[in-house]
């Protein structure tokens, strides 16, 4: 019954842990969850108000497939203001989350056998969508030594005549690594003279810490602008996961047209009300709320990093952005599924095993939750590690 294509998609490795956490909760066990990939904050009021107004004004019909002109204008303005990028409205598409932007992109560009370079640890969806699109994921392993960033040499070694695309995620889910301008320039240098595309996932752009400056891949040079597809959205930076708004921008208008064609034959426009709300998330109206959330994440990040690094056997590279810690537990236990499962069963703490992100021996701890719960959770993890055998 099932297509070969759909059978290429793997079940999420983390599902087993999530299911176990739910089962333990049902049994009445006190489980603390640190696996969430979404902010614990509510969507800023100014954004909600715009949505309410849209409903009341009856803005509830189909719109243009790629978004209403005002929204596309707001995307273009945002990319200019924040990132120094000069796109026009026919170079951007609003989609149902960055996830749909990525799906459109892979479907529109990848031919059977094309290779897509994905640095690990990676966001779980990339290799799955690449496979689904007929491509072959080529994984570059990174670790704590390079703060989970690829080196130009690694990239050079991974490139073959089949390489179609490189994915860059900065800030990264799950490590919080952020590529500096110089590091992006070094990557750009390797790509020069090739026709390799860059998918730059910039979802956590606004969540950077310790004065780290976010740099967009497309802003590095004209060459990078032309080869990069910028992917972004408001789910993480503006606490709008449920609204389903993301976007992509690309210099190549034929590619934009192709992605729009796919979207027109699959989902059409994104929710009309979300479009009105998203304008407020992009145009600076919610900047004070965004900064409040960023500061809260930074405070939690500082404390959680310190607490983890004080536990014998665990270590974590302090993230420069996003809201995750990627904790190394190799000294205690190399198998991340085994470790996460045992931690959940013995001390009731749910984290995501690193194997799910392509890097065993780590777990991802989300600090998108209040500081008291974070302290309590890390305290339990300390007890668990002290008694692990």
Smallest distance from the beta carbon of 235 to ligand PLP, in angstroms? 3
Closest to 132 measured CA to CA, from 110, 117, 100, 158: 110
Of the residues 32, 47, 98, 355, which one makes contact with ligand PLP according to CB under 6 A: 98
Count of residues in the chain: 389
Query: Using the rule CB under 6 A, which residue among 83, 163, 200, 235 binds ligand PLP?
Result: 235
Whose Cβ is closer to ligand PLP: residue 110's or residue 167's? 167
- Name the residue nearer to ligand PLP (CB basis): 233 or 361: 233
Listed ranges 97-105, 159-167, 260-268, 280-288: which one lies at the site for ligand PLP (CB under 6 A): 97-105
Residue 348 lies near ligand PLP (rule: CB under 6 A):
no
Which tokens belong to 296?
A: 């809260």
Binding part of the chain for ligand PLP, among 192-200, 233-241, 307-315, 380-388 by CB under 6 A, reads 233-241
Distance CA 96, CA 233 (A): 9
Stretch that binds ligand PLP, among 63-71, 92-100, 192-200, 221-229 (CB under 6 A): 92-100
- Considering the rule CB under 6 A, would residue 356 count as an interface residue with ligand PLP? no
**Which residue lies nearer to ligand PLP by CB, 173 or 217?**
173
Q: Of 96-104, 219-227, 278-286, 373-381, which part binds ligand PLP (CB under 6 A)?
A: 96-104
When asked if residue 246 is in the footprint of ligand PLP (CB under 6 A), the reply is yes
Site string for ligand PLP, 114-153 (x = CB under 6 A): ---------x------------------------------
**Backbone angles phi and psi of 94, in degrees to 5:** -90, 135
| Helix-helix angle 371-386:336-347, to 10 degrees | 110
Q: Does 352 bind ligand PLP (CB under 6 A)?
A: no
Of the pair 357, 384, the CB lying nearest ligand PLP is at 357
Comparison of 120 and 307: residue with beta carbon closer to ligand PLP: 120
CA atoms within 13 Å, Cβ hemisphere of 325 = 28
Residue 39 or 348 having the CB closest to ligand PLP: 39
39 belongs to the binding site for ligand PLP (CB under 6 A): no
Choice between 50 and 239, CB closer to ligand PLP:
239
How many chain residues are in contact with ligand PLP, going by CB under 6 A? 13
**HSE toward the beta carbon, residue 233, CA cutoff 13 A:** 26
Supply the minimum distance, in Å, between the C-beta of residue 129 and ligand PLP.
11
| Binding footprint of ligand PLP on the chain (CB under 6 A) | 37, 97-99, 123, 169, 173, 201, 203, 233, 235, 241, 246
């Amino acid at each position: 019954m099932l297509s070969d294509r759909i059978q290429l998609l793997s079940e999420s490795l983390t599902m087993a842990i999530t299911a176990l956490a739910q089962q333990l909760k049902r049994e009445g066990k006190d489980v603390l969850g640190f696996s969430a990939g979404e902010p614990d904050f509510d969507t800023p009021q100014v954004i909600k108000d715009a949505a309410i107004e849209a409903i009341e004004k009856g803005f509830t019909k189909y719109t243009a497939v790629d978004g209403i002109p005002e929204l596309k204008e707001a995307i273009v303005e945002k990319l200019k203001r924040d990132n120094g990028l000069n796109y026009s409205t026919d170079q951007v598409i609003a989609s149902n989350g960055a996830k749909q932007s990525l799906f459109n992109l892979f479907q529109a560009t990848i031919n059977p056998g094309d290779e897509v370079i994905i640095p690990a640890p990676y966001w779980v969806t990339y290799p799955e969508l690449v496979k689904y699109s007929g491509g072959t994921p080529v994984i570059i392993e990174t670790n704590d030594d390079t703060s989970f960033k690829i080196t130009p040499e690694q990239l050079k070694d991974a490139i073959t005549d089949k390489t179609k695309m490189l994915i860059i995620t900065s800030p990264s889910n799950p490590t919080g690594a952020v590529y500096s301008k110089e590091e992006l320039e070094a990557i750009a240098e390797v790509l020069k003279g090739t026709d390799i595309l860059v998918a730059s996932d910039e979802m956590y752009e606004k969540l950077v810490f310790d004065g780290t400056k976010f740099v967009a891949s497309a802003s590095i040079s004209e060459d990078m602008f032309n080869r990069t597809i910028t992917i972004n959205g408001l789910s993480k930076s503006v606490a709008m996961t449920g609204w389903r708004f993301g976007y992509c921008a690309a210099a190549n208008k034929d590619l934009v047209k192709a992605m729009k064609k796919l979207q027109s034959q699959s989902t059409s426009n994104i929710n009309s009300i979300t479009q009105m709300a998203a304008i407020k998330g992009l145009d600076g109206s919610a900047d004070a709320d965004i900064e409040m959330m960023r500061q809260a994440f930074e405070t939690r990040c500082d404390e959680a990093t310190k607490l983890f690094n004080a536990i014998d056997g665990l270590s974590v590279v302090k993230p420069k952005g996003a809201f995750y810690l990627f904790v190394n537990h190799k000294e205690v236990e190399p198998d991340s599924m085994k470790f996460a499962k045992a931690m959940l069963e013995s001390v009731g703490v749910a984290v995501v095993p690193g194997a799910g992100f392509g890097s065993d021996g780590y777990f991802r701890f989300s600090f998108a939750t209040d500081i008291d719960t974070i302290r309590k959770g890390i305290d339990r993890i300390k007890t668990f590690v002290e008694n692990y055998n």
